[in-house]
Amino acid sequence: MNKTDFLVIGSGVAGLRAALELARGGRVIVLTKDRIDESNTEYAQGGVAVALSDDDEIALHVEDTLNAGAGLCDEKAVIVLVEEGPRYIRELIEWGTEFDREGGELAFTREAAHSRRRILHAHGDSTGREIVRALLDRAKKDPNITFLAHAATLGLLVEDGRCIGVEYLDPNESLKREMRAKAVVLATGGAGQVYAQTTNPEVATGDGMAMAYTAGATVCDLEFVQFHPTVLAAPGAPRFLLTEALRGEGGRLRNDSGEAFMKQYDDREELAPRDIVSRSIVTEMTRTGRQWVYLDLTHLDANYLRRRFPKIHLTCLRYGLDITKDQLPVSPAAHYIMGGVRTDTLGRTTLAGLYAAGEVACTGVHGANRLASNSLLEGLVFGARAGAAALNETDGFPPGVEREPKPVDISPPDWMFDPQTRYRVQELMWQKVGLIRQGAELKTALDELTHLASQALNTRTHNFTTLARLITEAALWREESRGGHYRVDFPKRDDEKWRVHSAQQLNQPIKAVEQIGGG
């Protein structure tokens, strides 16, 4: 099996929705490097933002998204997202997605920087898991879709300036193989694992971004990394995300003295955009000499909390914390990257035959700071659009010449991460390219990452190190503070010079572009 009509890399919301679209016109193989239900989508607790409630409007959702994006959203992409969002949510419901309801009507909650209650959720705080369940159920019933799990993609195949397939690890025989297709849709998710502290699962190592860059595609806005402000920081507990919806329902942030401190930093207090809340927490931690602050829900109705946030309630209990009685120690962690592989609003990258959707892609919809709960909607809308574009634009295009596969036997060290390099990259990124940045430290980090990337590393470790280097290079290049990118040596936002996107391409210097792409 070395040829198919279409390849999708990744099985989160964007990959599954793209696969379902592509299956209308050919055979689709979905490659995943872990279980087919393991992705960032699976961990999305808070919900999906969509203008469907009676008191909401498309224009308000657009306005909130643009405001959160700190002047760098591409408005055309935002309009596509928000206008088409309701259609795809209704489609999900038709396909069996069970969003929470009150009295038979869809239940909406509010999160930071939203002017309306427009966040749909499922099973309280397991929205991503429910969406993946419904999409997987439908995809598994489609005879044109085949899943190949535990098949790590190592690189993209390019011939005559066109992406014609992938090189991947055969999970059954530890062999490196090629698979060719008319088109490849990247839906590999995010890159939180390049940081020592992250909410992301182990699979979120940014492979897709690095592979696309190495193959010649342009990546944009990699300096904009969103750090989730409230991640469980209890000793011995994992870095478990405590959804924004906890603050949307009235949770307060308090310091060691019990003071609700957010009013000192922003008039919107706990409902300020994530970058502001995260930096405020770090400032407060530095001021008080503590390693965390506290998220206080104890003034809210206990029964409601247990019903609304069942997964969070049970997880915290496992580590000796009761969200109805105890203040929860929290601190920020890397959560989401606004940048990625440059695409237009149809999911087309700058490399022919390669499409991208979801967190791996950069449509410009998030600007410098993603509005809470827009990511699941983005995966649905742009996953479908990328699938449709790949289907329409490759009609009659052959999926490559049939040829005998030439597997190469490789041992685990050839494809597993080199642990020493991985840990060094993670610490370097956390310490010097994190929430608060400074030019001299960025330069030091870039020099070391450039050196690491030049070493004789296996493919996956090289991809990992390359992406960290690209993020650092973009952060050093942007001499201002905007959204998820904060420079203490350039603390002001500078629209006159820096209201542009960063663009990076193999063997070319970083440059500014006015807009991510049309389409």
Active-site amino acid positions: 274
What sign has the CA pseudo-torsion 476, 214, 22, 342? positive
CB 5 within 8 A of CB 399: yes
Q: Are strands 108-109 and 408-409 parallel, antiparallel or unpaired?
A: unpaired
CB 334 within 8 A of CB 355: no
Q: Is 197 helix (H, G, I), strand (E, B) or coil?
A: coil
Phi and psi at residue 157, in whole multiples of 5°? -90, 130
Give the C-alpha separation, 370 to 67, whole Å: 10
Give the C-alpha separation, 385 to 391, whole Å: 10
Phi and psi at residue 161, in whole multiples of 5°? 75, 15
Give the C-alpha separation, 502 to 472, whole Å: 12
Residue type, 216: G
Give the C-alpha separation, 491 to 164, whole Å: 44
- What ranges make up the beta strands (E) of 153-239? 153-159, 162-170, 175-180, 183-186, 219-220, 225-232
- Longest Cα–Cα distance of the chain, Å, equals 69
In the chain the first and final C-alpha atoms are separated, in Å, by 34
Q: Are strands 6-9 and 162-170 parallel, antiparallel or unpaired?
A: unpaired
Q: Are strands 28-31 and 6-9 parallel, antiparallel or unpaired?
A: parallel
Q: CA nearest 245: which of 113, 55, 70? A: 113
Residue 186 burial class via C-beta count within 10 angstroms: exposed 0-12, middle 13-18, buried 19 and up:
buried
What sign has the CA pseudo-torsion 210, 212, 213, 214? positive
Beta carbons within 8 Å of 482's beta carbon, 6+ residues apart: 70, 71, 72, 224, 368, 493, 498
197-232: burial string, b at 16+ Cβ within 10 Å, e else: bbbbbebbbbbbbbbbbbbbbbbbbbbbbbbbbbbb
